[in-house]
Amino acid sequence: MRLILVCAGMLALSAGIAAAAQDAAQVERGKQVYTAQKCAMCHSVGGVGNAKGSLDGVGSKLSAEEIKLWHTDPKAMMAKTKAERKPAMPSYAAKLSKEDLDAITAYMLSLKKK
């Protein structure tokens, strides 16, 4: 019985470590998408980029669905949030694969307030 509990605990721990590694890889991929799409022209993270569009803390403010909508239907999100920044954010619906959208969403969610 004791051996079963130890094995179960080790499996749970290794699954948690694997999930954390996968999340870190997804966030890193999201950083790469952010760079490749030249998001820093309009936004900043950690003081790097356009300060008028700071994304610091965005992971504490928006849900994953809201972040995805900002990328795929920014007009709807601008109306919802009453955002008036010019120029308006373009849609990336046709520019980002599902995997890239998930990655940049993971990256944005990682940007929590410190």
Mean pLDDT computed over 27-47: 96
16 vs 32, residue with greater confidence: 32
What are the sequence ranges of the domains in the chain?
2-110
What dotted CATH number matches 2-110? 1.10.760.10
- What is the pTM (predicted TM-score) of this model? 0.79
- What is the per-residue pLDDT for 113? 80
Instruction: Quickly state the pLDDT bin for 15 (edges 50, 70, 90).
Output: very low
pLDDT digits (tens, 9 = 90+) for 94-109: 999 999 999 999 999 9
61 vs 21, residue with greater confidence: 61
Tokens at residue 93, please?
A: 């619906």
Which contacts qualify for 61-65: CB closer than 8 Å, 24 or more apart?
A: 62/108, 64/105, 64/109
Angle at 43 between CA 39 and CA 48, to 5 degrees: 95
